[in-house]
């Protein structure tokens, strides 16, 4: 897999070539909201991946988050042959005292796991976070049973900071622990 540098503001999207297919990482657009909502609803059907249940988040909320993060953070989608196959974002916490902390959400859409899409999205977001002076920490929550995601985060230097026991109620009624993980940018000292 070949990765190219992330685009800056106004730059064309990056492309990732692999095994004859073209994976394109680009900034999310409000027009992507419906596809993102549908992919999350499908992903939510698999216990242990996302906290939300299908239909809990309206499409308008996705549109609003995309618009907000166009200036406040970073919201990306992964496209393959014109179809969205993943999305991810970094969202700053809202209070001045913790606005340096950005929350990570990453979703590889059903049927596309294990193909490097999550890696490509995460690499782009962390490259951006490394360059963005406002980012002092990236946090995420991951279900204790989602070992695939935990391995990916560990590969990029995330460390476990907390375990929230019985935090997430799955659709089947069982409770699952949530793990809090964090990543810190390494910056050159002046």
**Could you tell me if residue 64 is inside a domain?**
yes
**Could you tell me if residue 1 is inside a domain?**
no
Q: What percent of the chain has pLDDT over 70?
A: 82
**Could you tell me if residue 6 is inside a domain?**
no
CATH code, domain carrying 162: 3.40.630.30
User: Which of the residue ranges 5-14, 109-118, 151-160, 164-173 has the most confident prediction, judged by mean pLDDT?
Assistant: 151-160
Does 124 score more than 90 pLDDT?
yes
Average pLDDT for residues 151-176, to the nearest whole number? Answer: 93
Average pLDDT for residues 146-162, to the nearest whole number? Answer: 96
**Could you tell me if residue 145 is inside a domain?**
yes
pLDDT digits (tens, 9 = 90+) for 53-81: 667 788 899 999 999 999 999 999 999 98
Q: Give me the DSSP letters along the chain.
A: -B--PPP-TTPPPEEEEETTEEEEEEE--GGGHHHHHHHHHHHTTSTTS-SSPTTSS-HHHHHHHHHHHHHHSEEEEEEETTEEEEEEEEEE-SSGGGTTEEEEEEEEPTT-TTSSHHHHHHHHHHHHHHH-TT-SEEEEEEETT-HHHHHHHHHTT-EEEEEEEEEEE-TTS-EEEEEEEEE-------
**Could you tell me if residue 12 is inside a domain?**
no
Average pLDDT for residues 176-183, to the nearest whole number? Answer: 96
**Could you tell me if residue 88 is inside a domain?**
yes
Say what the pLDDT of residue 8 is: 46
Full domain range(s) for residue 141: 24-183
Average pLDDT, the chain: 86
Does 49 score more than 90 pLDDT?
no
Say what the pLDDT of residue 111 is: 87
**Could you tell me if residue 189 is inside a domain?**
no
Q: Which two tokens stand for residue 16?
A: 């990732």
**Could you tell me if residue 2 is inside a domain?**
no
Q: What is the pTM of this model?
A: 0.85
Does 1 score more than 50 pLDDT?
no
Number of domains comprising the chain: 1
Average pLDDT for residues 97-117, to the nearest whole number? Answer: 93
Q: Which two tokens stand for residue 20?
A: 């004859």
């Amino acid at each position: 897999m070949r990765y190219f540098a992330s685009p800056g503001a106004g730059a064309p999207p990056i492309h990732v070539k692999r095994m004859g297919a073209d994976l394109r990482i680009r900034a999310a657009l409000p027009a992507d909201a419906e596809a993102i909502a549908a992919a999350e609803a499908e992903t939510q059907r698999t216990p242990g991946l996302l906290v939300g249940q299908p239909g809990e988040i309206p499409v308008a909320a996705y549109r609003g988050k995309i618009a907000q993060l166009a200036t406040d953070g970073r919201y990306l989608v992964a496209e393959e042959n014109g179809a969205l196959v993943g999305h991810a974002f970094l969202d700053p916490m809202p209070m001045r005292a913790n606005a340096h902390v950005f929350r990570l959400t990453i979703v590889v859409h059903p049927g596309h796991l294990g193909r490097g899409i999550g890696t490509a999205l995460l690499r782009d977001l962390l490259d951006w976070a490394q360059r963005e002076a406002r980012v002092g920490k990236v946090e995420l929550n991951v279900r204790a049973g989602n070992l695939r995601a935990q391995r990916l985060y560990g590969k990029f230097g995330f460390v476990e900071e907390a375990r929230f026991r019985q935090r997430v109620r799955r659709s089947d009624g069982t409770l699952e622990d949530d793990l809090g993980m964090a990543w810190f940018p390494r910056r050159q000292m002046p």
